Amino acid sequence: MKKDNIILEKTFDFALSIIELYKKMTEQKEYVLSKQILRSGTSIGANIEEAIAAHSRKDFAAKMILASKEARETRYWLRLLQKSQLVKLEFTTQLNDIETIINIITAIVKTTQRKS
């Protein structure tokens, strides 16, 4: 992984934290929402990885928009888990991280679309 790609690093680290969260949730016998957040939380970085290999600016923007959608879905699940108290875990770190990720991706998409 390139060390100078901040969003790729942030989403990779975020995916690792989501995997840890998933493990803790399944230890508390939560299997449905844990799979939802595992899927959306780890796919953000995968879409960004695909965007880096895009063959056009339009393709790049499309992949980044997918990453944005997954990030927003992940934020939804995190907020739902926090408010519902379905599991006894703290989600503040992940909620802060996902806000940062959403802001960066949004800026990337806007910049890309302006240049097109």
Entry pTM:
0.94
Domain ranges of the chain: 6-115
Quote the percentage of the chain above a pLDDT of 90.
94
> What local confidence, expressed as pLDDT, does residue 3 receive?
61
- Please identify, in words, the CATH class of the domain defined by 6-115: mainly alpha
Distance CA 38, CA 16 (A): 10
Task: Render the chain in DSSP notation, one character per residue.
Answer: --TT-HHHHHHHHHHHHHHHHHHHHHHTT--HHHHHHHHHHHHHHHHHHHHHT-SSHHHHHHHHHHHHHHHHHHHHHHHHHHHHT-SS---HHHHHHHHHHHHHHHHHHHHHHHH-
State which residues of the chain have pLDDT below 70: 1-3
